[in-house]
Amino acid sequence: MANREMTNAFGGPWTEEKLKILELYLDFYTTALKNQPFKLLYIDAFAGSGAIQTDEEEAQQFISGSTRRAINISDKPFDKLIFIERNMNRYAALQNIRNEFPNRDIQIENADANDFLKNFKQDWKQWRGVLFLDPFATEVSWSTIETIGNFNALDLWILFPTQAIVRLLPTEQKPEEINSRWADRLDRIYGDESWRELYRINPQGDLFGSSGHQRERGVQGLIEVYKKKLELLFGSRFLRKSRRLTNSRNSPLFEFLFCVGNERGIGLASRAANHILDHL
Ligand SMILES: C[S@@+](CC[C@H](N)C(=O)[O-])C[C@H]1O[C@@H](n2cnc3c(N)ncnc32)[C@H](O)[C@@H]1O
């Protein structure tokens, strides 16, 4: 029987929501590139185990995780899939999945996703693909986003950890009061100290023109700072529209963000991602 460490816990309906968005996009993507000369790559950088346990009591209740969904894209299957997972037990579960599909090219890496991607090389003249960043919280470094942006080849879906960052950035504190370990973590996520802008006092009101009570403004602001950074890096490859994933009390947990890999794909990929985000 699979234990907790070998699976991932089901967070709530938002877990299915993010996976459905990803799955619909993978389906669109592979079909759209079916007759193109590229080989298709899928990278799941925070891969999990392939199964998500939906019920703590009933250990046998699972839904498919992102890796299985990517393997099962069938109209035009991915030519290669790379799953990166730091946890040893989940990595072992991924090995079992690979053994289930002996005819597929599935590479499993027991590594830190940031380190692996930093050193990742591929012949981008031949390959295009999709990369999914689905961390638990604040594990994605900004330098990893830069690396991916510079590939100019992989469409990127990223879960920005709103709730985890709200906890690092209490609205009532001043930036100089944030403890240095938290500040380092924020610098690593944002790539610089741009998050400190959120605390600047502006007598004209909020930096981002939004209204509402302070907490909500804080949430919108910290996503906006990140979006602005993505926009600078990806230019028109960054999609402004995103999906807010919330818990049952409607508190924001993650912001689901999308960037197009290659300029030539902007029109089609953005329309598809927009459509999925509007209709799902
Ligand atoms: C939210 S879960 C991923 C769930 C998965 N996408 C799914 O649908 O089943 C995040 C996973 O990332 C792994 N992880 C955490 N930090 C990591 C890191 N730095 N590098 C690689 N994997 C990491 C965790 O062990 C966990 O399995």
**Which residue has the least CA distance to atom 4 on ligand 1?**
48
Decide: 28 and 269 in contact? Cβ < 8 Å: no
- Residues lining ligand 1, judged by CB closer than 6 Å? 8, 19, 46, 48, 52, 65-66, 84-87, 90, 112-113, 134-136, 139
Has residue 185 been placed in a domain? no
Has residue 228 been placed in a domain? no
Has residue 189 been placed in a domain? no
**Which residue has the least CA distance to atom 13 on ligand 1?**
46
Sheet holding 238-246, edge to edge: 106-109, 80-84, 39-44, 127-133, 154-160, 252-259, 238-246
Has residue 140 been placed in a domain? yes
Total count of residues recorded for the chain: 280
Q: Which atom of ligand 1 lies at the shortest distance from residue 116's CA?
A: 20
Has residue 113 been placed in a domain? yes
Hey, which of 10, 46, 63, 163 would you mutate to test ligand 1's pocket, going by the most ligand atoms within 8 Å of its Cβ? Answer: 46
Has residue 218 been placed in a domain? no
Has residue 213 been placed in a domain? no
Q: Supply the pTM of this predicted model.
A: 0.92
Of 178, 195, 179, 181, the closest CA to residue 142 belongs to 195
Q: Which atom of ligand 1 lies at the shortest distance from residue 52's CA?
A: 9
Q: Give pLDDT tens digits along the chain (280 positions).
A: 345 556 666 678 899 999 999 999 999 999 999 999 999 999 999 999 998 887 666 556 789 999 999 999 999 999 999 999 999 999 999 999 999 999 999 999 999 999 999 999 999 999 999 999 999 999 999 999 999 999 999 999 999 999 999 888 876 666 677 888 889 999 999 999 998 877 664 444 555 544 433 434 568 889 999 999 999 999 999 999 999 999 999 999 999 999 999 999 999 999 999 999 999 8
- Per the structure, how many domains does the chain have? 1
Has residue 73 been placed in a domain? yes
Decide: 119 and 144 in contact? Cβ < 8 Å: no
Domain region containing 106: 4-168+238-279
Spacing, Cα 135 to ligand 1 middle (Å): 5
State the Cα–Cα distance between residues 205 and 41, nearest whole angstrom. 46
Q: Two tokens at 100?
A: 């289930």
Decide: 85 and 48 in contact? Cβ < 8 Å: yes
Hey, which of 20, 25, 71, 86 would you mutate to test ligand 1's pocket, going by the most ligand atoms within 8 Å of its Cβ? Answer: 86
State the Cα–Cα distance between residues 126 and 66, nearest whole angstrom. 24
Decide: 254 and 245 in contact? Cβ < 8 Å: yes
Q: Which atom of ligand 1 lies at the shortest distance from residue 132's CA?
A: 6
Of 89, 91, 85, 7, the closest CA to residue 43 belongs to 85
CATH number, position 115: 3.40.50.150
Spacing, Cα 113 to ligand 1 middle (Å): 9
